[in-house]
Amino acid sequence: TPPACGEPCPAAGVSQVTVRDALNQALDEELERDERVFLLGEEVAQYDGAYKISRGLWKKYGDKRVIDTPISEMGFTGIAVGAAMAGLRPVCEFMTFNFSMQAIDQVINSAAKTCYMSAGSIAVPIVFRGPNGASAGVAAQHSQCFAAWYGHCPGLKVVSPWSSEDAKGLLKASIRDDNPVVMLENELLYGVPFEMSEQAQSKDFVVPIGKAKIERQGTHVTLVSHSRPVGHCLEAAAVLAKEGVECEVINLRTIRPMDIETVEASVVKTNHLVTVEGGWPQFGVGAEICARIMEGSAFNYLDAPAVRVTGADVPMPYAKNLEDNCIPQVKDIIFAVKKTLNI
């Protein structure tokens, strides 16, 4: 029987789970599954995490598995990388990826390059995770998207979840991977609920690294995005559908290695491409996608130049009205689609 509100009943076994709870589930399950896994970072233990991602884990697993660190990213990231080299599987939380710049030498020079420099004899199975990109009202020094920075570096894998399913599946896959993985979450998504199937909530569920997901099928234009802007793309697609424009929305999920094959197959079908991201335009994720499409056979199927929708090419302002103008909005995506379709 449908509920009194008239809303459709969710499918059997499907429930609403926030991104925060999905990440918490993933950490809990992996800490339980493998005693080599441990979590460290600022406020992750007794305070339950700055964003409550690690809620309840310190009480359950104790001081050796969930470790509060001093406010020194360079220090605790170096400890985590050394632990990974010695055979443990650390999950290193940055309170925001903007602070990962304090530890970027450890992430790039120590973690990313060691497997290559040791001729494959030293693995560094570590996950660097935390919120990335713009939050709300935190200004220039706390609003940067690092997808292009970390996606630039061989030796790293880089994932960028949107939904709760992405968050749980990618975190579990990242913890189990024998390579260093950078997981770029979004603070504004932590409290957002998404539908999760019974399968996605099982302890065996993982999302393979390096595989994009088509969130919406379409025939007129391909929208490619990652993280929070995927939701904006789906909103724009819903608006455009009322005008007879069917958008295919691709959620990249992984920045490196990038699933360009899924994007190419979509472009061959739709003949139009729009990329959407919260980061800056120059040398960005969208720029890489456009270059890959131009260099491959899908270029011959484009009926118009690819269009990028990005954050504004300025440090993030503090004022809300200026901040809104610096972050891609649904109206910007709709404008870009109409531009590339010449309507």
Nearest CA to 155 out of 258, 286, 256, 77 is that of: 256
Catalytic residue among 30, 42, 142, 185: 142
Active site residue 73: yes
| Contacts of 91 by beta carbon, 8 Å cutoff, 6+ apart | 27, 30, 37, 38, 39, 40, 126, 127, 129, 175
Active site residue 323: no
| Contacts of 33 by beta carbon, 8 Å cutoff, 6+ apart | 203
Give the integer Cα–Cα distance in Å for 225 and 252: 6
Catalytic residue among 29, 30, 42, 73: 73
Q: Determine phi and psi for 182, rounding to 5 degrees.
A: -100, 120
Enter the tokens of residue 122: 């030293």
User: Could you give the residue numbers annotated as active site?
Assistant: 73, 142
